């Protein structure tokens, strides 16, 4: 891209471009509203990650009939709900004030988190109550499409990469805070305390969801009190601050067509990026419990700490991405991100002569079986379940492999993530992006629906070699697609000759 003098040193929550009218109220109001969108993205991320590391042990605790395959559906339910909601909220935001779909979606999210906390109460089918609550949390998270379209329409082409990187950094902050809060709250324990008049159990599994509901209430207040509608052209001029922007009002801003091949390619690339990360985040807890013989509580705590580390690392990557994209371009950064992710999964492939501990070694102790049958929770079997027959023939993954893979994926994923939808927003140009962003979010949600189901089944039946080997193949396909469409993944203004690349 041409040098459009973006300010790459802009702090995370500072305005991303300097201007002679920086003291103008419209300008300041525009960035206040963008920051509300940053915060909304942050809370959306918190709402997902705050329970992700405890999802599997909570499921095991309240419904013994659930297996690792059902965990895949549990994680997928969130994304399936988001996939359905994203185009709907995107369409709504194109024709009505954006605070309407935002408030509605956040309220759904809030109510669903409360439902999740009460999923342990029914006498039967607890796993299905958990499944439904996560689906509704995901439905509420469909507002990500509205957030992205708002930021795309409220920033100039100069500001776009920086604003998208900032938004991704806020998402990463949520990614950090969610597991960190879950790790801290793990000290409440599995039993916790009971609030009798509410018939509510406050423990290490339910308290994080209730905290996410409180965050949702704060978000609703910010949207109602602070958010205003703003739009700028791609050159950063003609700032408009209005009650809402109708699609009809701005359809004539550009008669040039959007490159639909680039649109479809971007959606496929985003699908691959999100599929890869969905696999990673889904399998982390079961993999670590199988390979390192961690207990449920240890898995929640240690994976929470690891996720926090990845989150901090991701923030640094997001800040570096702005500078890298300015110097090398968006597409090379995206390509480099895919390469790093590939290395991360290659490292995770099992090797050596060390095999995982098998749970039947514990079950030989009859007293332990008695204790577990009584449900007193004092001891639990650890290691790889004997039902997973590959545990006997597949070498264990070393902790150093696991952490090294986490590090590399924590570098590659954020680079691919922010570059995918930054390129996408530039390809779309000045037209309303609500519906298009809805489809992008839906493609990512589709990936997060299929990814957990895929990995939970393949991992359970065939083991980590097949699961991670197939992911490496998918990364290679993504690189081939990116290279084949490389010349078309350019900004709308560049394609139509308004700006020279």
**Residue 194 — pLDDT band, cuts 50, 70, 90?**
confident
List b or e across 229-254, with b for residues whose CB sees 16 or more CB atoms inside 10 angstroms: bbbbbbeeeebbeeeebeeeebeeeb
Give the tens place of pLDDT for each residue, 294-342. 887 788 788 878 877 887 888 788 778 878 888 888 899 999 999 999 9
Instruction: Looking at mean pLDDT, say which of 13-17, 161-165, 384-388, 429-433 comes out highest.
Output: 384-388
Pairing assessment for the beta strands 240-242 and 193-195 based on DSSP bridges = unpaired
Measured distance CA(391)–CA(19) in Å, rounded = 61
Contact predicate 48/162, CB 8 Å: no
- Per-residue pLDDT, averaged over 278-307, amounts to 83
Measured distance CA(340)–CA(280) in Å, rounded = 14
pLDDT at position 378 over 60: no
pLDDT top residue among 416 and 20:
416
In this structure, what is the dihedral angle of CA atoms 284, 288, 294, 296, given to the nearest 10 degrees?
A: 20
For the ranges 296-305, 360-369, 419-428, the lowest mean pLDDT is seen at 360-369
Instruction: Give phi and psi for 18, each to the nearest 5.
Output: -90, 150
pLDDT the model gives residue 181 = 82
* Closest of 444, 459, 450, 449 to residue 413, by C-alpha: 444
Classify the phi-psi angles of 186: left when phi > 0, otherwise alpha if psi is within -120 to 50, otherwise beta. Answer: alpha
Contact predicate 296/385, CB 8 Å: no
pLDDT at position 364 over 60: no
pLDDT top residue among 117 and 28:
117
Measured distance CA(155)–CA(451) in Å, rounded = 33
pLDDT at position 250 over 50: no
Cα–Cα distance list, 29 to 24, 32, 221, 247 (Å)? 9, 5, 17, 22
Bridge partners for 242 per DSSP: 229
Give the tens place of pLDDT for each residue, 96-137. 888 899 999 999 999 999 999 888 888 788 889 999 999 999
Question: What average pLDDT is seen over the chain?
Answer: 79
For the ranges 65-69, 256-260, 405-409, the lowest mean pLDDT is seen at 65-69
pLDDT the model gives residue 241 = 45
**Residue 269 — pLDDT band, cuts 50, 70, 90?**
very high
Helix ranges (H only) for 5-67 are 25-49, 55-62
pLDDT the model gives residue 265 = 92
Measured distance CA(338)–CA(455) in Å, rounded = 19
pLDDT top residue among 363 and 95:
95
pLDDT the model gives residue 234 = 62
Measured distance CA(163)–CA(312) in Å, rounded = 19
pLDDT at position 11 over 60: no
Neighbours of 121 (CB within 10 A): 12
Measured distance CA(287)–CA(28) in Å, rounded = 47
Give the tens place of pLDDT for each residue, 44-84. 888 777 887 788 788 888 887 777 678 778 877 887 888 88
User: Inter-axis angle of helices 25-49 and 207-225, to 10 degrees?
Assistant: 160
- As given in the structure block, the two tokens for residue 367 are 């007293």
pLDDT the model gives residue 379 = 65
pLDDT the model gives residue 251 = 42
Report how many helices (DSSP H) and strands (DSSP E) the chain contains, helices first.
Answer: 18, 4
Architecture of domain 25-356+394-495: Up-down Bundle (1.20)
- Per-residue pLDDT, averaged over 243-263, amounts to 59
List b or e across 328-356, with b for residues whose CB sees 16 or more CB atoms inside 10 angstroms: ebbbebbbbbbebbbbbbebbbbeeeeeb
pLDDT the model gives residue 19 = 45
Give the tens place of pLDDT for each residue, 442-482. 888 788 778 877 887 888 888 888 888 999 999 999 999 99
Largest Cα–Cα separation, the chain: 78
Token pair 């300015």 is at which residue?
A: 326
pLDDT top residue among 101 and 356:
101
pLDDT top residue among 135 and 6:
135
Measured distance CA(379)–CA(367) in Å, rounded = 10
pLDDT the model gives residue 391 = 85
What percent of the chain clears pLDDT 90, i.e. is strictly above it? 16
pLDDT at position 243 over 70: no
Contact predicate 129/119, CB 8 Å: yes
pLDDT at position 23 over 60: no
Cα–Cα distance list, 321 to 269, 275, 276, 397, 406 (Å)? 18, 21, 20, 31, 19
What percent of the chain clears pLDDT 70, i.e. is strictly above it? 84
- Per-residue pLDDT, averaged over 412-418, amounts to 87
- As given in the structure block, the two tokens for residue 426 are 């530039």
pTM greater than 0.85 (yes/no) = no
SS3 state of residue 240: strand
What number of residues does the chain have? 501
Measured distance CA(340)–CA(337) in Å, rounded = 5
Rg (CA), the chain: 23
- Per-residue pLDDT, averaged over 2-28, amounts to 51
How many CA atoms are closer than 13 Å to the CA of 54, on its beta-carbon side? 33
pLDDT the model gives residue 246 = 45
Cα–Cα distance list, 178 to 86, 175, 308, 343, 493 (Å)? 22, 6, 8, 27, 38
pLDDT at position 352 over 80: no
pLDDT at position 268 over 90: yes
**Residue 271 — pLDDT band, cuts 50, 70, 90?**
very high
pLDDT top residue among 50 and 9:
50
SS3 state of residue 39: helix
pLDDT the model gives residue 460 = 83
Contact predicate 431/94, CB 8 Å: no
Please state the domain extents for the chain: 25-356+394-495
pLDDT the model gives residue 201 = 83
pLDDT top residue among 170 and 483:
483
SS3 state of residue 201: strand
Measured distance CA(215)–CA(106) in Å, rounded = 10
List b or e across 459-487, with b for residues whose CB sees 16 or more CB atoms inside 10 angstroms: bbebbbbebbeebbebbeebbeebeebee
Measured distance CA(301)–CA(294) in Å, rounded = 10
């Amino acid at each position: 891209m041409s040098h459009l003098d973006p300010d790459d040193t802009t702090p995370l929550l500072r305005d991303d471009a300097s201007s002679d009218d920086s003291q103008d109220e419209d300008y300041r109001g525009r960035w206040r509203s963008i920051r509300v969108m940053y915060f909304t993205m942050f809370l959306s991320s918190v709402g997902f990650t705050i329970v992700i590391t405890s999802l599997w042990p909570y499921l095991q605790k309240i419904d013994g009939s659930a297996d690792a395959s059902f965990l895949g559906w549990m994680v997928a339910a969130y994304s399936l709900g988001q996939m359905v909601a994203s185009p709907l909220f995107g369409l709504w935001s194109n024709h009505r004030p954006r605070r309407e779909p935002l408030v509605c979606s956040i309220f759904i999210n809030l109510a669903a988190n409360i439902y999740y906390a009460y999923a342990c109460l029914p006498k039967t089918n607890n796993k299905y109550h958990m499944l439904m609550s996560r689906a509704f949390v995901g439905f509420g998270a469909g507002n990500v499409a509205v957030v992205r379209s708002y930021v795309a329409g409220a920033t100039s082409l100069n500001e776009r990469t920086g604003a998208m990187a900032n938004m991704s950094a806020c998402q990463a902050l949520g990614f950090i805070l969610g597991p960190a809060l879950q790790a801290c709250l793990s000290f409440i324990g599995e039993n916790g305390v009971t609030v009798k008049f509410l018939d509510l159990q406050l423990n290490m599994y339910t308290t994080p969801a209730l905290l996410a509901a409180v965050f949702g209430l704060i978000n609703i207040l910010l949207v109602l009190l602070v958010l205003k509608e703003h739009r700028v052209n791609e050159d950063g001029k003609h700032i408009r601050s209005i009650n809402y922007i109708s699609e009809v009002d701005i359809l004539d801003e550009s008669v040039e067509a959007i490159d639909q091949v680039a649109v479809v390619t971007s959606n496929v690339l985003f699908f691959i990026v999100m599929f890869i990360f969905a696999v990673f985040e889904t399998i982390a807890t079961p993999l670590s419990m199988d390979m390192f013989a961690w207990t449920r509580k240890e898995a929640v705590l240690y994976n929470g700490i690891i996720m926090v580390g990845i989150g901090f690392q991701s923030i640094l990557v997001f800040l570096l991405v702005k500078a890298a994209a300015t110097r090398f371009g968006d597409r090379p950064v995206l390509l480099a991100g895919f390469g790093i992710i590939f290395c991360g999964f290659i490292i995770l492939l099992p090797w050596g002569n060390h095999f995982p501990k098998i749970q039947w070694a514990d079950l030989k102790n009859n007293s332990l079986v008695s204790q577990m049958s009584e449900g007193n929770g004092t001891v639990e079997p650890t290691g790889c379940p004997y039902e997973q027959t590959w545990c006997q023939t597949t070498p264990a993954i070393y902790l150093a492999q696991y952490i090294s893979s986490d590090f590399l994926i924590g570098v590659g994923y954020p680079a691919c993530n922010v570059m995918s939808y930054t390129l996408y927003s530039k390809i779309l140009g000045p037209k309303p992006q609500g519906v298009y962003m809805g489809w992008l979010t839906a493609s990512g949600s589709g990936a997060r629906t299929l990814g957990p189901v895929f990995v939970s089944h393949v991992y359970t039946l065939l083991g980590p070699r097949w699961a991670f080997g197939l992911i490496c193949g998918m990364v290679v396909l993504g690189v081939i697609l990116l290279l084949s469409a490389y010349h078309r993944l350019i900004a709308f203004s560049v394609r139509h000759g308004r700006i020279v690349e």
